[in-house]
Amino acid sequence: MRTFLDRARTLFDRATALLFALFLLALAVLAAYAMGVALDIAAADAAGRTATVAPHGDDNGDGRIDEDESGWDCTTMGNRRCGPAPAPVTIVLPVDCTGPGGCTVEGLPAECRNARDATVLCVTVASRPGGPALLRSLPHRPGTPAYAAALRTLDAETHPRY
Ligand SMILES: [Ca+2]
Protein backbone atom coordinates (compact mmCIF):
# COMPACT_ATOMS: atom_id res chain seq x y z
CA MET A 1 0.00 0.00 0.00
CA ARG A 2 1.32 3.38 -1.03
CA THR A 3 1.84 5.81 1.68
CA PHE A 4 1.01 9.48 1.47
CA LEU A 5 4.75 10.20 1.12
CA ASP A 6 5.04 7.86 -1.88
CA ARG A 7 2.13 9.59 -3.60
CA ALA A 8 3.60 13.01 -2.87
CA ARG A 9 6.97 11.92 -4.30
CA THR A 10 5.30 10.60 -7.46
CA LEU A 11 3.38 13.82 -7.86
CA PHE A 12 6.56 15.85 -7.36
CA ASP A 13 8.41 13.73 -9.95
CA ARG A 14 5.63 14.24 -12.50
CA ALA A 15 5.57 17.99 -11.89
CA THR A 16 9.36 18.14 -12.28
CA ALA A 17 9.20 16.14 -15.51
CA LEU A 18 6.44 18.44 -16.81
CA LEU A 19 8.48 21.57 -15.98
CA PHE A 20 11.54 20.09 -17.68
CA ALA A 21 9.47 19.28 -20.78
CA LEU A 22 8.14 22.85 -20.88
CA PHE A 23 11.70 24.17 -20.56
CA LEU A 24 12.83 22.01 -23.51
CA LEU A 25 9.82 23.21 -25.55
CA ALA A 26 10.67 26.86 -24.79
CA LEU A 27 14.28 26.23 -25.87
CA ALA A 28 13.08 24.65 -29.12
CA VAL A 29 10.79 27.63 -29.85
CA LEU A 30 13.63 30.10 -29.19
CA ALA A 31 16.01 28.16 -31.43
CA ALA A 32 13.43 28.05 -34.24
CA TYR A 33 12.84 31.81 -33.90
CA ALA A 34 16.57 32.59 -34.02
CA MET A 35 16.97 30.38 -37.08
CA GLY A 36 14.06 32.14 -38.77
CA VAL A 37 15.59 35.56 -38.09
CA ALA A 38 18.91 34.36 -39.52
CA LEU A 39 17.12 33.04 -42.60
CA ASP A 40 15.28 36.36 -43.02
CA ILE A 41 18.56 38.28 -42.90
CA ALA A 42 20.14 35.93 -45.43
CA ALA A 43 17.09 36.25 -47.68
CA ALA A 44 17.19 40.04 -47.42
CA ASP A 45 20.83 40.05 -48.50
CA ALA A 46 20.12 37.63 -51.33
CA ALA A 47 17.17 39.74 -52.49
CA GLY A 48 19.44 42.77 -52.76
CA ARG A 49 17.63 44.80 -50.15
CA THR A 50 20.92 45.86 -48.68
CA ALA A 51 23.29 48.02 -50.65
CA THR A 52 26.58 49.74 -50.17
CA VAL A 53 26.32 53.43 -50.89
CA ALA A 54 29.30 55.68 -51.38
CA PRO A 55 29.18 58.78 -49.18
CA HIS A 56 28.29 62.06 -50.87
CA GLY A 57 31.46 63.73 -52.05
CA ASP A 58 33.34 60.47 -52.56
CA ASP A 59 34.20 61.16 -56.20
CA ASN A 60 36.04 57.92 -56.92
CA GLY A 61 33.56 55.76 -54.97
CA ASP A 62 36.15 54.04 -52.79
CA GLY A 63 34.03 54.51 -49.70
CA ARG A 64 35.86 57.42 -48.14
CA ILE A 65 36.26 61.12 -48.85
CA ASP A 66 39.87 61.94 -49.55
CA GLU A 67 41.58 65.28 -49.87
CA ASP A 68 40.86 66.96 -53.21
CA GLU A 69 37.52 65.16 -53.64
CA SER A 70 34.39 67.30 -53.84
CA GLY A 71 33.26 66.24 -50.35
CA TRP A 72 36.51 67.30 -48.71
CA ASP A 73 36.22 70.30 -46.41
CA CYS A 74 39.66 71.49 -45.39
CA THR A 75 38.18 73.50 -42.51
CA THR A 76 36.78 70.43 -40.70
CA MET A 77 38.67 67.45 -42.13
CA GLY A 78 42.25 66.24 -42.05
CA ASN A 79 44.67 68.61 -40.34
CA ARG A 80 42.17 71.47 -40.83
CA ARG A 81 44.79 73.50 -42.70
CA CYS A 82 43.61 74.61 -46.09
CA GLY A 83 46.06 74.66 -48.94
CA PRO A 84 46.24 77.44 -51.49
CA ALA A 85 43.15 77.93 -53.56
CA PRO A 86 43.48 76.78 -57.12
CA ALA A 87 44.42 79.47 -59.61
CA PRO A 88 41.39 81.27 -60.95
CA VAL A 89 40.21 79.98 -64.27
CA THR A 90 39.97 82.62 -66.93
CA ILE A 91 36.95 82.12 -69.11
CA VAL A 92 37.21 83.84 -72.45
CA LEU A 93 33.99 84.39 -74.31
CA PRO A 94 34.09 85.69 -77.87
CA VAL A 95 32.61 89.16 -78.14
CA ASP A 96 31.14 90.26 -81.45
CA CYS A 97 30.52 93.98 -81.84
CA THR A 98 30.04 94.01 -85.61
CA GLY A 99 26.28 93.76 -85.67
CA PRO A 100 23.70 96.45 -85.05
CA GLY A 101 22.36 96.98 -81.54
CA GLY A 102 25.57 96.57 -79.57
CA CYS A 103 27.82 93.64 -78.84
CA THR A 104 26.88 90.02 -78.48
CA VAL A 105 28.82 87.50 -76.45
CA GLU A 106 28.80 83.95 -77.72
CA GLY A 107 28.32 81.41 -74.94
CA LEU A 108 27.24 83.94 -72.32
CA PRO A 109 24.99 82.08 -69.89
CA ALA A 110 21.44 83.41 -69.96
CA GLU A 111 21.70 84.01 -66.21
CA CYS A 112 24.50 86.52 -66.84
CA ARG A 113 22.78 88.75 -69.35
CA ASN A 114 22.53 92.29 -68.01
CA ALA A 115 24.99 91.51 -65.20
CA ARG A 116 27.01 94.57 -66.32
CA ASP A 117 30.14 95.03 -64.19
CA ALA A 118 29.57 91.67 -62.52
CA THR A 119 29.55 89.73 -65.80
CA VAL A 120 32.94 88.11 -65.29
CA LEU A 121 32.03 86.99 -61.76
CA CYS A 122 28.64 85.79 -63.01
CA VAL A 123 30.23 83.67 -65.75
CA THR A 124 32.68 82.27 -63.22
CA VAL A 125 29.89 81.21 -60.85
CA ALA A 126 27.85 79.87 -63.79
CA SER A 127 30.78 77.64 -64.79
CA ARG A 128 30.72 75.79 -61.46
CA PRO A 129 28.59 72.74 -60.71
CA GLY A 130 25.04 73.90 -60.00
CA GLY A 131 26.05 77.50 -60.72
CA PRO A 132 23.32 78.37 -63.23
CA ALA A 133 20.58 77.15 -60.87
CA LEU A 134 22.10 79.16 -58.01
CA LEU A 135 22.19 82.25 -60.20
CA ARG A 136 18.53 81.78 -61.16
CA SER A 137 17.64 81.55 -57.47
CA LEU A 138 19.06 84.99 -56.69
CA PRO A 139 16.26 87.39 -55.72
CA HIS A 140 18.11 90.48 -56.99
CA ARG A 141 17.85 92.08 -60.40
CA PRO A 142 21.03 91.65 -62.50
CA GLY A 143 23.13 94.76 -62.74
CA THR A 144 22.21 96.06 -59.29
CA PRO A 145 24.70 96.39 -56.41
CA ALA A 146 22.68 93.80 -54.44
CA TYR A 147 23.07 91.37 -57.34
CA ALA A 148 26.84 91.94 -57.43
CA ALA A 149 27.05 91.41 -53.66
CA ALA A 150 25.03 88.19 -53.92
CA LEU A 151 27.35 87.05 -56.72
CA ARG A 152 30.39 87.60 -54.51
CA THR A 153 28.75 85.50 -51.79
CA LEU A 154 27.94 82.76 -54.30
CA ASP A 155 31.50 82.93 -55.61
CA ALA A 156 32.86 82.34 -52.12
CA GLU A 157 30.37 79.54 -51.42
CA THR A 158 30.95 77.69 -54.68
CA HIS A 159 34.71 78.22 -54.85
CA PRO A 160 36.43 74.87 -54.38
CA ARG A 161 38.55 74.65 -51.22
CA TYR A 162 41.39 72.18 -50.87
CA1 LIG B 1 37.24 58.57 -52.30
> Cα angle vertex 119, ends 106, 73, to 5°?
110
10-residue mean pLDDT profile of the chain (162 residues): values are: 81 89 89 72 59 73 85 88 72 76 78 84 87 92 91 86 62
Which residues lie across from 96 on neighbouring strands? 104
Q: Model's pTM, two decimal places?
A: 0.42
User: Residue 65 C-alpha to ligand 1 middle, in angstroms?
Assistant: 4
CA of 157 to the centre of ligand 1 (A): 22
Residue pair 82/74 in contact (Cβ under 8 Å)? The answer is yes
Distance 20 CA to ligand 1 centre (A): 58
138 vs 133: CA distance, rounded Å: 9
CA of residue 109 relative to chain centroid, distance = 29
Q: Which of 112, 114, 101 is nearest to 134 (CA)?
A: 112
